[in-house]
């Protein structure tokens, strides 16, 4: 019998316990299930493994060019044109050693101490962390799953000052799971351009989108919007390459791109991206499309399963995410304090979730937990089987 790429036995627990860090298996006592960092439990696609091994076996591992291998830049540009109709040439692509450092480089290139950056709240901690590390100030504008473009703009307008320089967006949105529509993005992007603000679009999640939703890249909206936008893209979520630390920036404005490359220090080799990591991406983008399609199918089933299991948690209203492989239900019917709920689930169910706390998602995340479902059905089922009695007991104690 051939085993499916995403069957229960495809998960290599022996290797995850040794290799999966960042709040996951290798950092937790045996028997504890992490539904924490958004990093899949499955091995990467066979094409990546084969081509990476083949390249390494040939034994020539010289310096690459500062902006990235030509084949890497061509592969990303082709992917951007093919999957999201973005006008993208290889020259616009700059390889970075992760999406996280792509954001950091953009921040260093364009922000002065005291500059302000508008961003949604909640959102993944990396956005505010990165702005702060550049000496600038993150200014948060509250959003929910249902915030319309006009409502968001009203919040942006109220938060804007003379120090505002950029608008940072996350689409699809981690942790809300929203996939923004073309119209939503266009309205918001035009508002930003009208105020002379540049946009950073964190689109690392853009391949993990469920029908009928479709990802629209901000930079694909119009040439004018593209020239004021940098797209941050990565390979940790779609192709499970987090450990290879690889991502990229797409920037159509040559001046801005130059500033970004200079700020990175790649030309002096102080900064750079491993050629092996780039080779993995070339393999993924050329030969990983079918694997990605199957991964999304699996994730969609997992998402529906999580929503169905959460529907049995008293008072929980969990809407299915439109994209990403995280879900962010409100849990105040169980406990007003998400940290306390997570501690309890960890102790009593031996399952770890991420609490909606400012250090992870900024303001507006209290009263929620984030659950990652990029694992096998067996593991997810076990996690929910263990959490359910704890949750029921909690709900009963609040009545």
Ligand X SMILES: Cc1ncc(COP(=O)(O)O)c(C=O)c1O
Q: Which residues bind ligand X (CB under 6 A)?
A: 38, 98-100, 124, 126, 170, 174, 202, 204, 234, 236, 242, 247
Minimum CB–partner distance for residue 71 and ligand X (Å):
20
Minimum CB–partner distance for residue 390 and ligand X (Å):
27
Minimum CB–partner distance for residue 69 and ligand X (Å):
18
**CA-based nearest residue to 33, from 369, 346, 331, 390:** 346
Dmax over CA atoms of the chain, in Å, equals 67
Q: Which is nearer to ligand X, 234 or 355 (CB)?
A: 234
Q: Which is nearer to ligand X, 111 or 394 (CB)?
A: 111
Q: Which is nearer to ligand X, 93 or 99 (CB)?
A: 99
Whether residue 275 contacts residue 65, with contact meaning beta carbons closer than 8 Å, is answered with no
Q: What share of the chain is helix, strand, coil (3-state, %, to 5)?
A: 45, 15, 40
Q: Which is nearer to ligand X, 36 or 51 (CB)?
A: 36
Cα 61 from Cα 348, distance rounded (Å): 49
Look at residue 195 and give its three-state secondary structure. coil
Q: Which is nearer to ligand X, 33 or 201 (CB)?
A: 201
Name the one residue in this structure whose structure tokens are 């209290």. 366
The pairing of strands 137-142 and 33-34 is unpaired
Cα 142 from Cα 121, distance rounded (Å): 5
Q: Which is nearer to ligand X, 20 or 99 (CB)?
A: 99
Whether residue 80 contacts residue 250, with contact meaning beta carbons closer than 8 Å, is answered with yes
Minimum CB–partner distance for residue 38 and ligand X (Å):
5
Q: Which is nearer to ligand X, 334 or 372 (CB)?
A: 372
Q: Which is nearer to ligand X, 309 or 370 (CB)?
A: 370
Cα 190 from Cα 242, distance rounded (Å): 33
Minimum CB–partner distance for residue 319 and ligand X (Å):
19
Minimum CB–partner distance for residue 24 and ligand X (Å):
12
Cα 219 from Cα 243, distance rounded (Å): 28
Please give the structure tokens belonging to residue 375. 């694992």
Minimum CB–partner distance for residue 147 and ligand X (Å):
17
Q: Which residues contact 129 (CB under 8 A, 6 or more apart)?
A: none
Cα 50 from Cα 229, distance rounded (Å): 35
Helices (H), 9-161: 13-19, 46-58, 70-84, 99-110, 125-133, 149-159
Minimum CB–partner distance for residue 100 and ligand X (Å):
3
């Amino acid at each position: 019998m051939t085993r499916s790429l995403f069957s229960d036995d495809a998960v290599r627990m022996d290797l995850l316990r040794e290799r999966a860090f960042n709040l996951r298996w290798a950092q937790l006592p045996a028997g504890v299930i992490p539904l924490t960092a958004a990093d899949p439990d499955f091995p990467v696609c066979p094409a990546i493994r084969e081509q990476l091994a083949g390249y390494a076996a040939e034994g020539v591992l010289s310096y690459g060019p500062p902006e990235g291998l030509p084949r890497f830049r061509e592969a990303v540009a082709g992917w951007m044109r093919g999957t999201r109709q973005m006008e993208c040439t290889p020259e616009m692509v700059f390889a970075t050693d992760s999406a996280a450092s792509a954001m950091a480089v953009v921040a260093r290139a364009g922000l002065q101490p005291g500059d302000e950056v508008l961003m949604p709240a909640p959102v993944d901690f990396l956005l505010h962390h990165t702005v702060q590390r550049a000496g600038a100030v993150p200014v948060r504008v509250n959003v929910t799953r249902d915030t319309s473009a006009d409502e968001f703009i009203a919040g942006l307008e109220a938060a804007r000052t003379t120090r505002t320089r950029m608008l940072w967006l996350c689409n699809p949105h981690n942790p809300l799971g929203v996939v923004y529509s073309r119209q939503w993005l266009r309205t918001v992007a035009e508002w930003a351009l009208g105020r002379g603000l540049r946009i950073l679009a964190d689109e690392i999640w853009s391949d993990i989108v469920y029908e009928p939703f479709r990802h629209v890249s901000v930079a694909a909206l119009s040439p004018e919007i593209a020239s004021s936008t940098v797209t941050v893209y990565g390979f940790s979520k779609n192709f499970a390459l987090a450990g290879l630390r690889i991502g990229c920036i797409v920037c159509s404005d040559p001046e801005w791109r130059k500033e970004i490359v200079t700020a990175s220090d790649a030309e002096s080799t102080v900064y750079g991206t491993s050629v092996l990591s780039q080779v993995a991406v070339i393999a993924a983008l050329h030969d990983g499309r079918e694997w990605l399609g199957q991964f999304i199918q699996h994730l969609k089933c997992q998402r529906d399963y999580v929503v169905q299991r959460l529907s049995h948690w008293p008072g929980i209203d969990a809407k299915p995410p439109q994209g990403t492989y995280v879900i962010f239900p409100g849990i105040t019917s169980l406990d007003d304090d998400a940290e306390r709920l997570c501690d309890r689930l960890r102790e009593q169910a031996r399952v770890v979730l991420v609490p909606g706390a400012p250090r992870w998602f900024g303001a507006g995340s209290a009263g929620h937990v984030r659950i990652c479902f990029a694992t096998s059905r067996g593991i997810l089922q076990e996690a929910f089987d263990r959490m359910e009695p704890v949750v029921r007991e909690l709900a009963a104690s609040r009545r």
